[in-house]
Homo-oligomer: A and B are copies of this chain.
Amino acid sequence: MENMESISKILKDVLEDITPGKREKEELNKLSKTIIDGLYTIIQTEGLCDIVEDIVQVGSTARDTHLKNDYDIDIFIRFKRGVDREVLKETILNIGRRVIENLGGTSWIEYAEHPYVSGRIGKYDIDIVPCYKIGWNEGIISAVDRTPLHNQFVKDILKSKHLNNDIRLLKKFLKGVGIYGSDLKTKGFSGYLCELLVIHYGGFINTLKNAQKWKIGEKIVLDEIFQIYGIGRDYRFSDFDHPLVVYDPVDLKRNVAAALSKENFCRFIFYSRQFLENPSKEFFYNYHRKLTERVNSRDRGALLTLKIERDSNIVDDIIYPQMEKLQKSINKLLIENDFQILDCEIYATKDACYLSWEFLVWEFPNVKVRVGPPVFNRKVRDFVKKYPKHFIKDCRVCAYVERKYKDVYQLFEDIVSGKLKNRIKHPKYVSPVNGKVYRDIFVNRYMSIMRIK
């Protein structure tokens, strides 16, 4: 009870801090409308009405679920099915850039699955993105075709259920604990996922409370889905091998939480419980950083950082999974060689990838026990021929052999020289060959700083 009182005080304070003001919202909406009007004008004057279906503002600023000082304006131009992709591209580049520049802004082209226009007008970041108009539960044609439907779904519901502030709280909470964002670096919760969870559980605190009952593979189906699609509770939804499954009301074969890692799924459950038990504003403000600082104020094992040059044209969503893959494959090799890992991290700046390790055990005498076959086994013959320094232990033939790597730095030397090319993965944009090895340095992803032992 006491907690609940203090919680409502905390949430009130946080909301005051994160809710955009009335003027902030009006100004943003006015600029959105101006851009959309500008786009329609060009479309009409240039006779493009037969290929363009409509123009919609999307994103959290469109649904009023954004945090204060978020000046992102996302405009989607929906083309009719059947319009050639080339036409899509030409049209968007032509009219998108013109509108932004007519309003005194600067613009450029960005590339995702297909190109779109990005720009800046004053403090506002504008994206003008082409897509195809599709219906509910219909297959997509281009990658972002579902976005306007997401927008419509959430907006419609929030008209009657006033959960906008609860959504803001969940987003801020997840930011605070470091798991907001569905990019491949963060592997956390997307904004849309936050909206669906708060809608499903009817509020921020209820979401946190319900998360306490989650288990790995938790499945969530919004009530609205049964109404929209006219299906019963016995409907067989698709199976996913993800820790959390939230069926997309716009496409039942899609899991909105697909990007969420098991680790972050567990972190959410954990931090939710921590917050409910010991409510504090701290959770909403850089909590993960404070936690990392506290956790790392301790004695360290041997630290090692591998720095690899990065082509700054390659985006995080490609770089991070490749760093991860490389670290995993190096970890396997480290474990094979008996080096015990206490902690490891990846972090990328604009022009470098950092893979860091902390070792509990990093050097050995030059001897290793190789465990061979049971004495009852025929393979004993070959084993003793191969390893002359054998002995019997636990009914098996074992042997002392020389250790390949006496310390962990030797192993990393062979990694950066390319000697171990066949033993570890060499991802295209994060190849360890010619990387640099630094001792006594650990790069922490959350703190984003280099630590010297």
Contact = CB atoms under 8 A, between A and B. Distances in A.
Interface of A: 214-216, 262-263, 266-267, 269-270, 273-274, 277, 291, 294-295, 297-302, 338, 342, 360-361, 364-367, 369, 375-376, 380-381, 384, 388-395, 397, 400, 402
Contacts of A361: 361, 364
B395 A216 contact: yes
A126 B342 CA distance: 64
Among A381, A390, A392, residue most surrounded by chain B Cβ atoms (within 10 Å): A392
Contacts of A395: 216, 262-263, 266
A84 B266 CA distance: 76
Nearest to A302: B365
21 contacts: A215-B376, A216-B395, A263-B395, A267-B375, A269-B375, A270-B380, A270-B392, A273-B375, A274-B384, A295-B389, A295-B390, A295-B400, A297-B389, A298-B367, A298-B389, A299-B367, A299-B402, A302-B365, A342-B367, A360-B364, A360-B367
B216 A388 contact: no
Nearest to A406: B299
A277 B378 CA distance: 12
A422 to B, nearest CB: 27
Given A214-B376, A300-B365, 20 more contacts: A215-B376, A216-B395, A262-B395, A263-B392, A263-B393, A266-B392, A266-B395, A269-B375, A277-B381, A294-B388, A295-B389, A297-B389, A298-B400, A299-B366, A300-B367, A301-B364, A301-B367, A342-B365, A342-B367, A361-B361
Nearest to A397: B270
A375 B301 CA distance: 26
Nearest to A273: B380
Find the residue from A216, A393, A400, A402 having the highest chain B CB count within 10 A: A400
A338 B291 CA distance: 27
Which 7 interchain pairs have the tightest Cβ spacing?
A: A299-B366, A301-B365, A270-B375, A266-B375, A299-B367, A266-B395, A295-B389
Contacts of A375: 266-267, 269-270, 273
Nearest to A267: B392
Contacts of A302: 365
Contacts of A393: 263
Contact of A299 (B273, B365, B369, B394): B365
Contacts of A381: 273, 277
Contacts of A367: 298-301, 342, 360
Contacts of A388: 294
Nearest to A364: B360
Contacts of A299: 365-367, 402
A336 B222 CA distance: 49
A125 to B, nearest CB: 33
A300 B400 CA distance: 10
A167 to B, nearest CB: 24
A270 B373 CA distance: 11
Contacts of A390: 295
Nearest to A271: B392
Nearest to A398: B295
Nearest to A389: B295
A297 B401 CA distance: 11
A294 B393 CA distance: 16
Contacts of A394: 263
Q: Among the interface residues A262, A302, A375, A402, which one has the most CB atoms of the partner chain B within 10 A? A: A375
A277 B366 CA distance: 31
Contacts of A270: 375, 380, 392, 397
A389 B290 CA distance: 11
A452 B270 CA distance: 52
A63 B381 CA distance: 37
